[in-house]
């Protein structure tokens, strides 16, 4: 099977940088995705990493190390609106579906 | 923009009732998914479909069934609702392979009394 582990909560201050880690176990690797979900809202796609290294999209970056079965989401210049839950997700081997981690709740404080 | 619409935002039903949750997408995506979301458990896959009339079980299919008669519509059915099915239900759609982003509806918060 597959499993993903993320911290349950992270707190940071406005303007700072925060890193949300994700470690995973899978028999076949097909990439790691990240989603953001505000309270009461729908999850929205943030990024996808298939290869090792850093992918940057504006203030958000996502990193992958396949040899360590590890990835992280980096949020820079934090804003209050970044307060949300963040999920890492793995494609299910042989399927067009995803297995999600349990999510990290980010609280940005003034 | 991709639009995934779930028929109800909030729904209250009674134990033993047959419950239908509807989901419609407007981007001609071949893949559609049903998840349930519970605190501390993240999103868990119930069923998904990669084509009309095709379906595959996810991680927690017990007590649920699905129907996909048209490409744009994917229905989740609770055959005989039970209190442990009280949850937030999220529908999603996606094109192509598993590297493609999934687009989610706003969710249906279902309470079974």
Q: What is the pLDDT of residues A5-54, one digit of tens each?
A: 999 999 999 999 999 999 999 888 889 999 999 999 999 999 999 999 99
Q: Is the dihedral of CA A40, A46, A51, A52 positive or negative?
A: negative
Which of A8, A88, A98 has the most B C-beta neighbours within 10 Å, making it the best mutation to test the interface with B?
A98
- Say whether pLDDT at A93 is over 80: no
CA B99 to chain centre: 20
User: From CA A86, how far away is CA B50, in angstroms rounded?
Assistant: 26
- pLDDT band at residue B49 using 50, 70 and 90 as cut-offs: very high
pLDDT at residue number A2: 84
- How are beta strands B64-70 and B103-104 bridged, if at all? unpaired
- The first and second tokens of residue A1, run together, are 């099977």
CB contact under 8 A, A30 and B99: yes
C-beta of residue B21 within 8 angstroms of C-beta of residue B76:
yes
Residue-level pLDDT at B98: 76
Question: What is the percentage of chain B residues whose pLDDT exceeds 70?
Answer: 98
Q: Is residue A95 pLDDT above 80, yes or no?
A: no
Q: Is the pLDDT of residue B5 over 70?
A: yes
* Average pLDDT of the segment spanning B70-90: 97
What is the share, in percent, of chain A residues with pLDDT greater than 90? 84
Per-residue pLDDT, B69: 95
The pLDDT, as a whole number, for residue B100 is 87
Share of chain A above pLDDT 70, in %: 98
Contact B94 A102 (CB under 8 A): no
- For B15, residues 6+ apart whose C-beta sits below 8 A from its C-beta are B81, B82, B83, B112, B113
Q: Which two tokens stand for residue B16?
A: 């033993």
Taking residues A89-109, what's their average pLDDT? Answer: 89
Q: Is A45–B50 a contact, with Cβ atoms under 8 angstroms apart? A: no
pLDDT, one tens digit per residue, over A63-80 is 999 999 999 999 999 999
Task: Provide the pLDDT for residue A92.
Answer: 80
Q: How far off is chain B from A74, nearest CA to CA, in Å?
A: 19
A33 token code pair: 């995705």
The pairing of strands B4-6 and A104-109 is: unpaired
Residue A94: pLDDT band with limits 50, 70, 90: low
Q: Per-residue pLDDT tens for B65-77?
A: 999 999 999 999 9
* Chain B residues within an 8 Å CB radius of A43: 43, 90, 92, 102, 104
């Amino acid at each position: 099977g597959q499993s993903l582990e993320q911290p349950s909560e992270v707190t940071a201050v406005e303007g700072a940088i925060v890193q949300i880690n994700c470690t995973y176990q899978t028999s076949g690797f097909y990439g790691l995705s990240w989603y953001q979900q505000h309270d009461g809202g729908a999850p929205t796609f943030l990024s996808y990493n298939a290869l090792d290294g850093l992918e940057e999209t504006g203030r958000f970056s996502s990193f992958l190390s396949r040899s360590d079965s590890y990835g992280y989401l980096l949020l820079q210049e934090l804003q209050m609106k970044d307060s949300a839950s963040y999920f890492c997700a793995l494609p299910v081997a042989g399927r067009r579906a995803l297995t999600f981690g349990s999510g990290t709740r980010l609280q940005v404080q003034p | 923009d991709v639009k995934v619409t779930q028929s109800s935002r909030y729904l209250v039903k009674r134990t033993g009732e047959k419950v239908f949750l509807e989901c419609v997408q407007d981007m001609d995506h071949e893949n559609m998914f049903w998840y349930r979301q519970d605190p501390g458990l993240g999103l868990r896959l119930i069923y998904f479909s990669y084509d009309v009339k095709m379906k595959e079980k996810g991680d927690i299919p017990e007590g649920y069934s699905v129907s996909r008669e048209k490409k744009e519509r994917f229905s989740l059915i609770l055959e005989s609702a039970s209190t442990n099915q009280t949850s937030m239900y999220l529908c999603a759609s996606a094109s192509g392979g598993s590297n493609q982003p999934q687009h989610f509806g706003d969710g249906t918060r279902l309470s079974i009394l």
